[in-house]
Structure 1
Amino acid sequence: MATPTAAAPRHSCAKLSVAVEDPKAVGGGAVFVKATWHPTRFSLAVTDGAGAWVAEASDAEVRLRAEQWDQPVADYLSLAERYLAFQQPSSTYSFHDAGNGSRRLSWTFEKQGTKLEWRWKLQPSPNTQQTIAEILDFLMDANIRLSEEVVRKTQSFDKLKQESEKCLQQSERFNNEKAEFEQATFSKFVAVLNSKKAKLRQLKNKLTELESAEKAPKEEEEDNSTDKTELFEEESDKNGSINDEPSETGGGDLHSSPEKTGATSRGGRGRKRTRK
């Protein structure tokens, strides 16, 4: 069965502005705190530029402090790292003499509206120069890493800037090409539209001419039929007037009275009897 690997320790180093007994002393008013954070413990190395002090917070000490503050060990370490890895503006730091060459590092914080203070006692480093050198080496390495990161970020920024300029130029070119294309398309559309309008106008005129040409024979036929009707009516009127006039060749007998007709008939029959 594989044993779980221990989490790699984290390192931090911060410059803290602290209250000291003699601000005019070498390094007075500021200290460098280098910390190494393990899952259940941590270690500190502090220097003011002239001396160096160290502290080893064992698992038992950290667990005891966490129990005193009613906190899990992980929460206690997380809160300590928050205030020792970066200076918090709301916190007050101090670095005072604790006797026998020892120093006491303390910092304040608020919890549920109450201002609290944590303290850790540091012993003089057995090798001051080595401790200061380790802190300076860590700071130099961190500075180199930050410088390299700045260079990479700067190069990346320059590259992005060049790409953005290229994109801007392409965008301007695309906009110009789009405007030219739209103008050309609109011109062609207007030309086609005008030609269609002219064609429709020609067809409309041609249709009007055809309608006029078809309408003219119909009007002529109607005029002819009207003339014939008038001639027929005139002839009918003339024939009617002729029939109404008396005939000069005895045609008036046709209109003789019934009495004359009867007398003539009787006269004829009487003459026949006389001959017998």
Structure 2
Amino acid sequence: MVESEKTKHTCLRLEISGADPIFVKGTWHNSHFDISVTDGSSSWICNATEEEVAERAAQWDQPVSEYLELAERYLGFQQSNSVYGFSDALEGSKRLSWTFEKEGTKLEWRWKCKPSHDSKKITVGILDFLMEANIRLSEEVVNKTRSFEKMKSEAERCLAQGEKLCDEKTEFENATYAKFLSVLNSKKAKLRALRDKEDSVRAVAEEESTDKAESFDSGRSDNEQSEEEASKKASSSKARGRKRAVRS
């Protein structure tokens, strides 16, 4: 199975200690890469072939894909923990180098860049790439700004809707509570009326019961008084009868 060719492009403004910054443009393939370097007036190129990349990867006991990924990482974005160099070599060439750590050991990779036969073309190509990237970035910023404004507007609308719903909820709760309170007070009034009615009926019943008891006691006293008077009369009559008998 043949792996499809994937090409990526990077462009780095590389800050080098003690020297003017340079621009490094990289074109990354599955098994090799190309580098163009310019300082604004001169330019250099490095076309790393598949054989050269495979040889370098083997020297570092790495797969080709891992070697290319690491090289792209350091030449696509300047790493703060790496020391970069762009020193002179023979016949006007330059040696591009960078350091990195692996398993606690600081290592250095170097690639030789040859002078370009058409510095103007290389420099213009890098500038065009930067301008296109800047345009794409500007468009992306504009699109993201529009998306942000749209999201902000939507958020404000949702917030206003939420506040409206909250107000309606509060109003509904207040109305419901007022209605419930009215019903509750009405029920309480009815219960008080029923309780007062029951108390009134109970008082009348107790009063009638008391009157009957008093009437019964009064009737019994009259009977007892009549019986007592009758008993006294009978005793008096018997006494008079005995007196008459004695006289005879």
What TM-score results when the alignment is normalised by the length of structure 1?
A: 0.80
CA distance in 2, matches of 1:210, 1:7: 105
Q: Could you tell me how far 1:217 is from its partner in structure 2? A: 1.8
Q: Could you tell me how far 1:17 is from its partner in structure 2? A: 0.7
Q: 1:107 aligns with which of 95, 98, 115?
A: 98
Query: Which residue identity does 2:128 align to in structure 1?
Result: D
> What does 1:210-225 align with in structure 2 at a 5 Å threshold?
210-225=201-216
> What does 1:141-220 align with in structure 2 at a 5 Å threshold?
141-220=132-211
Q: Which residue of 1 aligns with 2:68?
A: 77
Q: Could you tell me how far 1:251 is from its partner in structure 2? A: 9.8
Structure 1 spans left out of the alignment, 5+ residues: 24-28, 254-276
Structure 2 spans left out of the alignment, 5+ residues: none
For each residue in 1:131-173, what CA deviation from the matched residue of structure 2 results, as whole angstroms up to 9, or x when unmatched? 2222122111111111110010000011111112212222222
For each residue in 1:11-30, what CA deviation from the matched residue of structure 2 results, as whole angstroms up to 9, or x when unmatched? 1111111246xx4xxxxx21
Report which stretch shifted further, 221-230 or 93-102.
221-230
1:123 aligns with 2:121: no
Q: Which residue of 1 aligns with 2:84?
A: 93
> What does 1:26-45 align with in structure 2 at a 5 Å threshold?
29-45=20-36
The secondary structure found in structure 1 opposite 2:240 is coil
Task: Report the count of equivalent residues.
Answer: 244
Q: 1:62 aligns with which of 28, 53, 56?
A: 53
Q: Which residue of 2 aligns with 1:265?
A: none
Q: Could you tell me how far 1:5 is from its partner in structure 2? A: 5.0
Q: Could you tell me how far 1:188 is from its partner in structure 2? A: 2.3
> Retained in 2: the 8 A contact 1:19–1:95?
no
CA distance in 2, matches of 1:74, 1:243: 149
CA distance in 2, matches of 1:74, 1:233: 134
Query: Which residue identity does 1:183 align to in structure 2?
Result: N
CA distance in 1, matches of 2:105, 2:6: 34
Q: 1:47 aligns with which of 38, 46, 49?
A: 38
> Retained in 2: the 8 A contact 1:31–1:46?
yes
Query: Which residue identity does 2:5 align to in structure 1?
Result: A
CA distance in 1, matches of 2:130, 2:33: 19
Label 1:249 to 1:129 Cα distance change in 2 as closer, same or farther (>3 A).
Answer: same
The secondary structure found in structure 1 opposite 2:79 is coil
Label 1:238 to 1:105 Cα distance change in 2 as closer, same or farther (>3 A).
Answer: same
Structure ID, larger Rg:
1
Q: Could you tell me how far 1:233 is from its partner in structure 2? A: 3.3
Q: Could you tell me how far 1:112 is from its partner in structure 2? A: 2.6
Could you say what the CA RMSD is over the residues aligned between the two structures, in angstroms? 2.2
Query: Which residue identity does 2:240 align to in structure 1?
Result: E
Report which stretch shifted further, 105-114 or 235-244.
235-244
> Retained in 2: the 8 A contact 1:97–1:103?
yes
Query: Which residue identity does 1:197 align to in structure 2?
Result: K
Identity over the aligned pairs, expressed in percent? 46
